[in-house]
Amino acid sequence: MHDDRTLVEARLRRVLDERIRPAVYPESVPLEAAVWHAPGEPVPVAEGLAAEPEPIEVGARWGAPWGTSWFRVTGTVPEAWAGRTVEALLDLGFDENMPGFQCEGLVYRPDGTPVKGLNPRNQWVRIGAPVAGGEEVRLHIEAASNPVILDYHPFRPTWLGDKDTAGQEPQYTLTRMDLAVFDQSVWQLVLDLEVLGELMAELPVDSARRHDILRAVERALDAVDLQDVNGTADRARERLAGVLSAPAVPSAHRISAVGHAHIDSAWLWPLRETVRKVARTTSNMTALIEDEPEFVFAMSQAQQWAWVKEHRPEVWARVKKAVAEGRFVPAGGMWVESDTNMPGSEAMARQFVHGKRFFLDEFGIENEEAWLPDTFGFAAGLPQIIKAAGSKWLLTQKISWSQTNTFPHHTFHWEGIDGTRIFTHFPPVDTYNCSMKGSEIAHAARNFKDKGRARHSLAPTGWGDGGGGTTREMVAKAARLRDLEGSATVVWETPRAFFEKAEAEYPEPPVWVGELYLELHRATLTSQAKTKQGNRRSEHLLREAELWAATAAVRAGFPYPYEELDRIWKTVLLHQFHDILPGSSIAWVHREARATYERVAAELTALIEGAQRALAGEGTTPLVFNAAPHPRHGVPAGGAATPAEAGATTLASREDGGFTLDNGLLRITVDARGLVVSAYDRDADREAVAPGRAANLLQLHPDFPNMWDAWDVDSFYRNTVTDLTDAESVTAGEDGTSVRIVRGFGSSRVTQRLSLPPGERRLLIDTEVDWHETEKFLKLAFPLDLHAERYASETQFGHVFRPTHTNTSWEAAKFEACNHRFVHLEEPGWGVAVVNDSTYGHDVTRTVRTDGDRGTTTSVRVSLLRAPRFPDPETDQGVHRFRHALVLGASVADAVREGWRINLPERHTTGARDVAPLVTVDDDAVVLTAVKLADDGSGDVIARFHEAHGARARATLTAGFDLADVTVTDLLERPLPDAPAPGVDGERIDVRLRPFELMTLRLRRRGDGR
Nearest Cα to Cα of residue 677 among 685, 665, 689, 667: 689
Q: Are 902 and 837 in contact (CB under 8 A)?
A: yes
714 in active site: no
Q: What DSSP string runs through 495-557?
A: HHHHHHHHHHH-SS--EEES-B--SS-GGGGTSSHHHHHHHHHHHHHHHHHHHHHHHHHHHH-
C-alpha of 957 from chain center: 35
- Cβ of 796: how many Cβ atoms within 10 Å? 29
CA atoms within 13 A on the CB side of 975: 9
- Using CA atoms, how far apart are residues 151 and 168, in angstroms rounded to an integer? 19
Q: How many CB atoms lie within 10 A of CB 362?
A: 17
Residues 826, 832, 838, CA angle at the centre, nearest 5°? 125
Of the candidates 192, 264, 339, 374, the residue annotated as catalytic is: 374
Asked if 395 contacts 425 with a C-beta cutoff of 8 angstroms, the reply is yes
CB 469: neighbour CB atoms within 10 A? 29
Q: What is the CA radius of gyration of the chain?
A: 31
Q: How many Cα atoms are found within 13 Å in the side-chain-facing hemisphere of 29? A: 12
Of 910, 382, 830, the closest CA to residue 640 belongs to 910
Cα 177 off chain centre by: 38
Residue 642 DSSP class: P
Dihedral class, residue 900 (left if φ above 0, else alpha if ψ from -120 to 50, else beta):
alpha
The amino acid occupying position 446 is: R
3-state secondary structure of 499: helix
Provide the residue type at 693 as one letter: R
Alpha-carbon distances, residue 585 vs 520, 535, 577, 588 (angstroms): 17, 15, 10, 8
b vs e for 725-744, b when ≥16 Cβ sit within 10 Å of the residue's Cβ?
Answer: eebeebeeeeeebbbbbebe
Q: What amino acid is encoded at 846 in this protein?
A: R
Virtual CA dihedral for 884, 885, 891, 893, nearest 10 degrees? -60
Question: Peptide bond preceding 871: is omega within 30 degrees of 0, i.e. cis?
Answer: yes
Measured CA to CA, the distance from residue 826 to residue 241 in angstroms comes to 70
Q: Are 270 and 579 in contact (CB under 8 A)?
A: no
Q: How many CA atoms lie within 13 A of 826 on its CB side?
A: 18
Helix (H), strand (E) at residue 628: none
In which element (H, E) is residue 259 found?
A: strand 254-259
Give the whole-angstrom CA distance, residue 1003 versus residue 154. 55
- Catalytically active residues, by annotation: 374
